[in-house]
């Protein structure tokens, strides 16, 4: 499936709504295992179908005008899964980069990776570094992938760095504010998070973008991730557009 944008003149994906399209959407891609179980298939079949959902969703995000799309691909807690499943997931990650990076680049998509991904095995790190460098100057859309990511770890890393600077006399602790802290997060340089979606019906954040989600709109949908696609994302954007965001004001 091509990730290139649809040419103008086609039907709009939007079906209504009275507000703006979210600049930054994040998705907790949940339900691959349940999708496979319902079909009496091994869990890996759900993960493979989940890759197809990624392709559909990245393309739909570009068509909808979403500036940045963040996908929770592998959490720091996912290492607790069976080694065989982790191996399959890492293999699929490698194949996705090798097979899709040309189309991602041609579509004008910049790749950004969050988390402690440099702790992954060397060949995967090398592939990721190459993909990031190749797409660094693309401006049509940003695809953000969270790999070996945990929000609590991210916050601790920033706090540790600031504490070290303060202890070394490079920073006055009294000057630390929310803007300074946010500037040290993995998401620095990205638009503020507007909408966070979780698929599969679960209603929790699971240690994902805890700081960034402070004023994001949250949307929990029953669709299992392998079934998620253009219509689901369009419906989520319309739900966002219909909400009134006050950010603590009246």
225 is in an annotated binding site: no
43 is in an annotated binding site: yes
99 is in an annotated binding site: no
Please confirm, yes or no, whether 30 is among the known catalytic residues.
Answer: yes
211 is in an annotated binding site: no
Using CA atoms, how far apart are residues 116 and 114, in angstroms rounded to an integer? Answer: 7
C-beta neighbour count of 4 within 10 angstroms: 15
Phi and psi for 102 in degrees, rounded to 5? Answer: -60, -45
Q: One of 63, 78, 177, 227 is an active-site residue; which one?
A: 78
87 is in an annotated binding site: no
Please confirm, yes or no, whether 78 is among the known catalytic residues.
Answer: yes
Give the residue carrying structure tokens 């500036």. Answer: 67
Q: One of 30, 63, 186, 232 is an active-site residue; which one?
A: 30
204 is in an annotated binding site: yes
76 is in an annotated binding site: yes
**DSSP helix/strand/coil, 23:** coil
Buried-state track 127-150, b at ≥16 Cβ within 10 A, e below 16: bbeebeeebeebeebbbbbbbbbb
Annotated binding-site residue numbers: 30-35, 43, 47, 75-77, 79, 81, 198, 204-206, 217
Catalytic (active-site) positions: 30, 78
Numbered residues of the known binding site for Mg(2+): 30, 217
> Can you say which residues are annotated as belonging to the binding site for substrate?
31-35, 43, 47, 75-77, 79, 81, 198, 204-206
């Amino acid at each position: 499936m091509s990730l290139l944008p649809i040419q103008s003149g086609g039907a709009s994906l939007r079906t209504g709504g009275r507000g703006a399209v979210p600049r930054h959407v994040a998705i907790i891609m949940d339900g691959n295992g349940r999708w496979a179980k319902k079909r009496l298939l091994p869990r890996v079949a759900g993960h493979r179908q989940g890759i197809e959902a990624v392709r559909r969703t990245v393309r739909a995000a570009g068509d909808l005008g979403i500036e940045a799309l963040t996908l929770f691909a592998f959490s720091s807690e996912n290492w607790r899964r069976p080694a065989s499943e982790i191996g399959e997931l890492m293999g699929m990650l490698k194949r996705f980069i090798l097979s899709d990076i040309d189309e991602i680049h041609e579509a004008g998509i910049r790749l950004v990776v969050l988390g402690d991904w440099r702790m992954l095995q060397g060949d995967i790190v090398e592939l990721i570094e190459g993909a990031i460098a190749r797409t660094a100057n693309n401006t049509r859309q940003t695809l953000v992938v969270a790999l070996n990511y945990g929000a609590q770890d991210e916050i601790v890393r920033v706090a540790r760095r600031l504490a070290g600077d303060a202890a070394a006399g490079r920073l006055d602790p009294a000057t630390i504010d929310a803007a300074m802290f946010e500037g040290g997060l993995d998401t620095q340089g990205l638009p503020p998070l507007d909408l966070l979606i979780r698929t599969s019906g679960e209603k929790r954040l699971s240690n994902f973008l805890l700081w960034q989600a402070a004023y994001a709109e949250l949307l929990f949908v029953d669709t299992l991730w392998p079934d998620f696609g253009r219509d689901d994302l369009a419906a989520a954007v319309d739900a966002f557009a219909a909400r009134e965001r006050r950010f603590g004001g009246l």
